[in-house]
Amino acid sequence: MGSRKAVTPSDAEIAACQTATRDLVGVALRSLELLDGKVSLPQFRMLTVLHEIGWCPSSRVATELGLGASSITRLADRLEAAGHVVRGHNPANRSMVTLGLTASGKRLVERVLDWRRAELARILGRLDPDDRAALAAGMLRLHEAVGEQYAGDLHGPVPL
């Protein structure tokens, strides 16, 4: 990251980052409108965990989301009833409940992620290519400064 002397960020720099945060959260929240209220934010978080890590024990989903087993059971009940999640068991340990996405659940997550990608492409398309390149480079530098584990220390994938 270089050996530059640390300088306190200006109020304008901090305000610009706060505005960008609000804008990016807005994109993420608008993407959830595709769910038409049929899947709640906590349910979508579970779907995204399963999309990222695949078929796994429900205890791992609980850990990833920072929730208790009973909360995972309730979320899984609703998502299974909606046809987005399927339960199974570990053949080596029948008491271990496993969870996985159905084709419907996978399509739902991919639909939201595809919408986000298209919306970001639309928004970024409004910028001059040089500004876009500078923004991308700056965002990567910000991510390096934040560190990979900053959001990873939150429970589960950041749902937004």
Least confident of 42-51, 77-86, 91-100, 125-134: 91-100
Q: How much is the pTM?
A: 0.79
Could you tell me the pLDDT band of residue 150, with boundaries at 50, 70 and 90? Answer: confident
Could you tell me the pLDDT band of residue 1, with boundaries at 50, 70 and 90? Answer: low
Average pLDDT over the chain, rounded to an integer: 89
Tell me which residue has tokens 């994938």: 157
CA pair distance 118, 62, nearest whole angstrom: 31
CA 4 to chain centre: 33
Does residue 4 register a pLDDT over 50?
A: yes
User: What's the one-letter identity of residue 30?
Assistant: R
Helix (H) or strand (E) holding 143: helix 129-146
**Which range has the top average pLDDT, 39-43, 123-127, 148-152?**
123-127
Q: What is the mean pLDDT of residues 42-67?
A: 92
**Per-residue pLDDT tens over the stretch 119-134:** 999 999 999 999 999 9
Q: Assign domain 35-146 one CATH number from 1.20.120.1200, 3.40.50.12280, 1.10.10.10, 3.40.50.720.
A: 1.10.10.10
